[in-house]
Structure 1
């Protein structure tokens, strides 16, 4: 479950990082100014559509960081050094999380949700 207070703090961090006002941030992601205001005040919780609009407009924002504070912001590229040269190369494809590391021995996975770049998602129950 998402912690609304912590989500609000992370959302504010994104807005501040890009030196945006709440109005300009709302315009950039394509939502009403009141939507931002209501989420920042704690009146409303963010919808999936709202979160996906942030991720689409600000690719440096990681989903896991935005939703639960795990990961980093801004997104750090995976950098590896080439063994045959002194140049750095960026890994173009992020690795999926290790589900065994996420789950602890006293809990079971209830649902897995995969989000696609086009804004759609699929939900799976084991």
Structure 2
């Protein structure tokens, strides 16, 4: 059975707010008359009201609330125990990769420095070489590791 957004709001109030419109309105920070107007069918919830509902009830699936698609509540992921051995191995691997990237970055900066010196010595100080040097210097600064 397809429901309207107003009907879905009623379902939320019944199932998550204990059938209490006033406490629901307070939780989403709107005047109770706004909720009453929506439930009475006089208005549909505004974009702002929908955002307030989703913020106050993060377990509600936005596709369900807005379009009526799927389930009301987002799926709950099972609580898996943390495998500390694997977690530690993952952290060590990430740290190792970070160090490798740092070393590669330093090597590239050194190669760029050598290229800059080569361009400088080969081209003299012509306008074309000045542009090439400036371009290399800009790239060096872009890829320099943060201190």
In which range does the TM-score fall when normalised by the shorter chain? 0.5 to 0.7
1:58-112 deviation per Cα after TM superposition (whole angstroms, max 9, x unaligned): 0111111001111212221255989x9xxxxxxxxxxxxxxxxxxxxxxxxxxxx
Task: Give the superposed CA RMSD.
Answer: 2.3
How many residues align? The count is: 80
2:11 aligned partner: 13
1:36 aligns with 2:35: yes
Task: Report the TM-score, using the length of structure 2 for normalisation.
Answer: 0.49
Higher strand share: 1
1:53-92 aligned within 5 A:
53-78=52-77
Q: Counterparts of 1:12 and 1:36 in 2: how far apart (Å)? A: 9
Higher helix share: 2
Shift of 1:45: 1.6
Flag structure 1 segments of 5+ consecutive residues without an equivalent: 85-126
**SS of the counterpart of 1:75?**
coil
Flag structure 2 segments of 5+ consecutive residues without an equivalent: 84-147
Q: Which runs of 4+ in 1 moved over 6 A?
A: none
1:123 aligned partner: none
Shift of 1:43: 0.6
Task: Report the TM-score, using the length of structure 1 for normalisation.
Answer: 0.56
**SS of the counterpart of 2:4?**
helix
